[in-house]
Amino acid sequence: MPKIKIRKMAAADQRQWLEMRRTLWPDCPKERHLLEVDQLLRSEGLVLFAEGADGRSLGFAEISIRRDHVEGTCSVPVPYLEGWYVDPGHRNQGVGRALIDAAEKWALEAGFTELASDAEIGNDEGIRAHQKLGFREVGRSVHFVRPLRALSAGIRKQNRNIPTSNQRL
């Protein structure tokens, strides 16, 4: 395993963090990255950095605190691994495990009893790495969002065609 240090992300690391995020999620627009970075920095969660002996960033782990129910968990609030990334040239050498160990230590000290996470369907490597580190699969899902304005407009349109009870009589 390379000589690495796991530490909390500092303000000066933000550019490198963003670069790694863009490598991990290349399809995510820059504005979305900036929004998520901002949300994470304002949250009570934690961003951990793995740093090599030369000070180079090797990876990161983002942990948020989710306050709504999280699939498969028994506790609320629960720490949630939002992002977990190791530079491709440094994978399979224990860096990812060191990040999760540090996240676990932080979460236990903060009084939490579980760490939840997800991986995209099809990310077999990510799924296997989770399993190796003691994460248990609790379900698979596809997420949806529908803008409420469009939804309510649609419902209004539908309702125009529904006869009132008076009309039915």
**Residue 152 is which amino acid?**
S
Q: Which stretch binds ligand COA (CB under 6 A): 33-41, 69-77, 81-89, 151-159?
A: 81-89
Positions in 86-115 near ligand COA (CB under 6 A): 86, 91-97
CB 50 within 8 A of CB 42: no
Beta bridge partners of 65: 79
Positions in 11-40 near ligand COA (CB under 6 A): 24
Q: Which helix (H) or strand (E) element contains residue 85?
A: strand 78-86
Least distance to ligand COA, CB of residue 111, Å: 25
Confirm or reject binding of residue 125 to ligand COA (CB under 6 A).
yes
Least distance to ligand COA, CB of residue 78, Å: 17
Cα–Cα distance for residue pair 154/161, rounded to 1 Å = 11
SS3 content of the chain, % helix, strand, coil (to 5): 40, 20, 40
Please count the residues of this chain forming the interface with ligand COA, following the rule CB under 6 A: 20
What is the binding site for ligand COA (CB under 6 A)? 24, 83-86, 91-97, 119, 123, 125-126, 128-129, 132-133
